[in-house]
Amino acid sequence: MPTSPQIPSPHPAPRPGADPTRFILIGTSHPGNVGATARAMKVMGFSELVLVRPRFPDVLVQEDTVALASGAADILVRARIVDTVAEALEGVTFAIGTAMTPRDFGPPTITPREGLSELARSHAATGHKVGFLFGSERHGMANEDVYRCHAVISIPTNPDYGSLNLSQAVQLLAYDWRQALGGFPVVERTPDADLAGGAAVQGMLDHLERALVHVGFLDPAAPKKLMPRLNQLFNRAELRQEDIHILRGIAKAMLDRPKP
C-alpha cells in the first residue's frame, strides 16, 4: 500500500487540545446529509465543519438539516460556508480527498485503517491539521480539488455495489480516524451499581407468591419447591431495581384480576 507522503507543514501547527480535524463538504445537495454529517462528527468527537458552495445557502438552518443533526446543532452553529476549496483548506496541513485517484496523475491512495494509522503517528509528531474532503452526492470531487490533496482515501466496499451515502462515508472515516488517534474508552456499567438488595428481592417474591396463589398457579397447601426455585432463578438473574418494579407490576396486575 502506498504510504502517506511526509509533507512539510506550510501552516502553524494547531494549538494543543484543538480539534485536529476539519470535515469539508463540497457542493452538497441534500440538507439531510449536512445534518447527518454533523451528527456523525459529534459522535466521534469532531467539531469543525466547512461547506463549500452548498446547493442551498441556508442549508445550516433548514428543517431536514437540524432534524438529522439530532443533538449536534452546536456543530451546525459553528459551521462555516465558503466559496472555494482553497478557503476551506486554509490552515489544513494534510488534506485527504474521498475520491478515486485521477487516471493521469494525482496523490497516492490510502486505506482507512492502515493509512490513517500512519497519518495519526505523523500527526503526533508534527501536529498536522487534517482535512477530509467530500464531493457532491451526484458528481463527487472534481479533479482540480483532488489535486489539492496530499492523499485520497479508498473505503473498501462490495465491488458489486460500492455506493455510499455521503454522511455514511463521513461516519466511517470519522470512526477510523478517531480510532487511529487513540479512540475513546469504553464506558462500562458498574456490575453492582443498581443491583436490587436482598430485602427488595424478598419483597418482590412475597408479592409474586400472593399473585400466583391468587390466579391458581400455586397451591399454598402443596407449594412444592416453586418459590425456592424462583428465588434461585432471580438470584442468577442479578435483578436490578427496575427489574423489581417490573415484576411487582406484573404481580399487581395479577392480583387485580378476579379470581378464576
pLDDT of residue 250: 94
pLDDT of residue 4: 41
Average pLDDT over residues 174-193: 81
pLDDT bucket at 190, cuts 50 / 70 / 90 = low
Which tens digit of pLDDT belongs to each residue from 196-249? 888 999 999 999 999 999 999 988 888 888 999 999 998 898 898 889 999 999
Strand partners, 131: 22, 95
Does residue 129 contact residue 14 with C-beta atoms inside 8 Å? yes
Residue 131's pLDDT is 97
Classified by CATH at the fold level, domain 198-256 comes out as Helicase, Ruva Protein; domain 3 (1.10.8)
Burial of 255 (0-12, 13-18, 19+ CB in 10 A): middle
Which class for 164: exposed (0-12), middle (13-18), buried (19 or more C-beta within 10 A)? middle
Q: How many CA atoms lie within 13 A of 192 on its CB side?
A: 3
Nine-digit cell string for 56: 442551498
Query: Cα separations (Å) of 84 from 10, 26, 65, 151, 167?
Result: 19, 9, 22, 19, 21
What pLDDT shows up at residue 18?
Answer: 60
pTM: 0.68
Question: Residue 77 has what pLDDT?
Answer: 95
Chain centre distance of CA 217: 48
- Domain range list for the chain: 21-180, 198-256
pLDDT for res 2? 42
Q: What is the model's pLDDT at position 15?
A: 40
On average, the pLDDT of the chain sits at 87
**pLDDT of amino acid 3:** 43
Q: Reply yes or no on whether the pLDDT at 38 is more than 60.
A: yes
- Kindly give the interhelix angle for 166-180 and 112-126, rounded to the nearest 10 degrees: 50
Least confident of 39-53, 58-72, 114-128, 138-152: 114-128
For domain 21-180, give the CATH number: 3.40.1280.10
pLDDT of residue 103: 60
The closest of 26, 15, 30 to 68, measured between CA atoms, is 30
Categorize the per-residue pLDDT at 19 as very low, low, confident or very high, splitting at 50, 70 and 90. confident
Q: Which pLDDT band, with edges at 50, 70 and 90, does 26 fall under?
A: very high
User: H helices within 147-197, ranges in order?
Assistant: 166-180
Query: For residue 189, what pLDDT is reported?
Result: 60
Q: What is the pLDDT of residue 62?
A: 94
Task: Please give the pLDDT value at position 163.
Answer: 81
What number is the average pLDDT over the span 85-106?
86
Q: Which residue has the higher pLDDT, 83 or 19?
A: 83
pLDDT interval class at 16 (50, 70, 90): very low
